[in-house]
């Protein structure tokens, strides 16, 4: 059976996940040797990078930095899941979603809490990213997202 694009992306994703697990072990040894976490080294690298605007401005370099940022985040999420376990992280998804709900209710009651809402949105986004990782569904989520956006565009066009 010929593999569809979805299968290919899912395979690639699983491959990257496995690589990240091995990277994680490497990260821990880097931390032992250098005394810095990989995130700290990464931040140092990025701040140095920003001092060179001409290089930074090329599309290729920007995409490298964005790619490195995504990989760095994935690695942090993998470690969080490995550290606290899937059960605890799934509960955190619900906890963070209810914290966001609470802040939205406060806004409806007339409170100026945009900062608090922004913080809770960030929490929920972080937990949703971990949920996608735990269930191995990032590609599926993106597919649904694109389909739903397309339907939304179509419905908006019907209204005109």
CA distance 124 to 55: 34
Our finding on whether 99 is near Mg ion (CB under 5 A) is: yes
**Site for Mg ion, residues 46 to 85, rule: CB under 5 A:** none
Torsion of CA 22, 23, 25, 30, to 10 degrees: 150
Residue 106 dihedral angles phi and psi, to the nearest 5°: -65, -40
**Cβ closest to Mg ion, residue 26 vs residue 122:** 122
Q: Least distance (Å) from Mg ion to the CB of residue 101?
A: 11
Lay out the site mask for Mg ion across 112-141 (x = CB under 5 A, - = otherwise). -----------x------------------
Q: Least distance (Å) from Mg ion to the CB of residue 123?
A: 4
Q: Near Mg ion by CB under 5 A, which window of 25-33, 94-102, 108-116, 137-145?
A: 94-102
For 24-32, which contacts have Cβ atoms below 8 Å and span 24 or more sequence positions? Answer: 24/75, 24/78, 24/79, 24/82, 27/75, 27/79
Positions in the binding site for Mg ion (CB under 5 A): 96, 99, 123
């Amino acid at each position: 059976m010929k593999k569809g694009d979805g299968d290919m992306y899912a395979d690639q994703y699983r491959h990257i996940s496995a690589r990240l697990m091995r990277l994680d072990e490497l990260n821990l040894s880097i931390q032992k040797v250098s005394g810095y976490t990989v995130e700290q080294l990464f931040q140092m690298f990025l701040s140095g990078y920003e001092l060179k605007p001409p290089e930074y401005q090329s599309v290729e370099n920007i995409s490298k930095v964005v790619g490195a940022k995504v990989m760095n985040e994935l690695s942090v999420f993998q470690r969080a899941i490995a550290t606290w376990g899937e059960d605890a992280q799934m509960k955190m998804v619900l906890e963070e979603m209810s914290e966001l709900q609470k802040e939205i209710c406060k806004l409806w009651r007339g409170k100026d809490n945009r900062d608090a809402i922004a913080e809770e949105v960030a929490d929920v986004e972080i937990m949703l990213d971990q949920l996608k990782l735990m269930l191995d569904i990032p590609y599926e989520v993106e597919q649904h997202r694109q389909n739903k956006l397309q339907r939304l565009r179509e419905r908006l066009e019907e209204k005109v």
